[in-house]
Amino acid sequence: MDAEQSHDAGAPNAVLRGGPFDGERVHVTSAVPVVRYAGQVRHVYRPTADLDDEYPTMAVYVYERTLIY
């Protein structure tokens, strides 16, 4: 399965922090960047080794950059 789609299925186990999708909970299967789309704009979140303060059982992915195509 594509890394950009692998976060869409299953129970949430990570939370996005920063950027336009801040606070969104996602399901990830490996520690690779998560990409969220808004039209032709891609927002990239990278994994960290931290657990979230609000959701202490979830991994944190932090906003890294925006790609415009």
Neighbours of 33 (CB within 10 A): 15
Residue 9: predicted pLDDT: 73
Cβ neighbours of residue 49 under 8 Å, at least 6 residues apart?
A: none
Residue 24: predicted pLDDT: 98
SS3 36: strand
Which portions of the chain are predicted below pLDDT 70? 1-8
Residue 69: predicted pLDDT: 83
Residue 38 tokens read as 């808004």
CA dist 19 and 57 (Å) reads: 21
Residue 61: predicted pLDDT: 99
pTM of the model: 0.84
Residue 7: predicted pLDDT: 52
